[in-house]
């Protein structure tokens, strides 16, 4: 899992029990410069760290699953764009572009979508007050054009900030089901 900008591993790990209880080994790391991690916060360095982490974990597992939340979704999209191997990825409420904020266009998540995005599930929320639709829609819409599963949840806010427990649990179930390849009707 790649975390959102304001998240720390020790704060979120217990929220991932739904994945570990389904038999998944869950790895979560603080970015460099976050929490007790050393180093300076630099997006390119964080992306490179995750490419190395993914490559290392891929050597240990037959099924390779990626989950990125907000900034973490952008990190995962950049890893995918660099060619890391994966079987499925969930990109949960990622901004579509960083270039609007002065970053180089090559790291824009929308620019790192593979031509065949059928192994990706992009989730956004209509009630997201952190990243509005203008910031998330281009990635979601382009991913859908390239074959990704997409959902713009009517009752979803930003990940782990959903206004109701029902919406949060529905989001977690969609992620779990996607990783276990169980087909369910989308939650509105």
CA distances from 104 to 6, 17, 76, 94 (A): 22, 36, 17, 17
Residue 17 banded pLDDT, cuts 50, 70, 90: confident
* H-assigned helices in 21-164: 43-58, 71-82, 133-145
Residue 182: the pLDDT is: 46
Q: What confidence category does residue 87 fall into, taking pLDDT thresholds of 50, 70 and 90?
A: very high
pTM for the model stands at: 0.92
Q: What is the overall mean pLDDT for the chain? A: 91
Residue 69: C-alpha distances to residues 11, 63, 161, 176 (Å)? 14, 20, 12, 14
Q: Kindly indicate the confidence band of residue 159, based on its pLDDT and cuts at 50, 70 and 90.
A: very high
Domains of the chain (ranges; CATH) run: 9-180 (3.40.50.1820)
Of 68 and 187, more confident: 68
When pLDDT is cut at 50, 70 and 90, the band that residue 33 belongs to is confident
* Residue 127 vs residues 85, 112, 113, 133, 134: alpha-carbon distances, Å: 33, 26, 25, 9, 13
pLDDT for res 184: 45
Q: For residue 153, what pLDDT is reported?
A: 95
Which DSSP letter does residue 15 get?
Answer: G
Q: Burial of 23 by CB count in 10 Å (0-12 exposed, 13-18 middle, 19+ buried)? A: exposed
pLDDT of residue 187: 44
């Amino acid at each position: 899992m790649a975390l959102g900008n304001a998240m720390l591993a020790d704060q979120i790990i217990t929220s991932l029990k739904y994945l570990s209880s389904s038999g998944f080994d869950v790895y979560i790391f603080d970015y460099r410069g976050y929490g007790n991690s050393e180093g300076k916060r630099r997006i390119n360095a964080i992306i490179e760290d995750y490419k190395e982490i993914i490559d290392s974990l891929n050597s240990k597992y037959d099924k390779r699953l990626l989950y990125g939340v907000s900034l973490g979704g952008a990190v995962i999209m950049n890893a995918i764009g660099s060619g890391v191997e994966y079987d499925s990825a969930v990109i949960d409420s990622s901004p579509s572009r960083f270039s609007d904020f002065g970053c180089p266009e090559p790291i824009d998540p929308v620019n790192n979508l593979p031509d065949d995005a059928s192994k990706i599930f992009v989730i956004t929320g209509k009630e997201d007050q952190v990243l509005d639709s203008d910031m998330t829609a281009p990635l979601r819409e382009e991913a859908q054009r390239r074959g990704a599963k997409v959902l713009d949840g009517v009752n979803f806010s930003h990940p782990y900030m959903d206004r109701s427990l029902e919406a949060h649990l529905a989001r977690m179930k969609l992620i779990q089901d996607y990783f276990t390849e169980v087909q369910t009707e989308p939650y509105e």
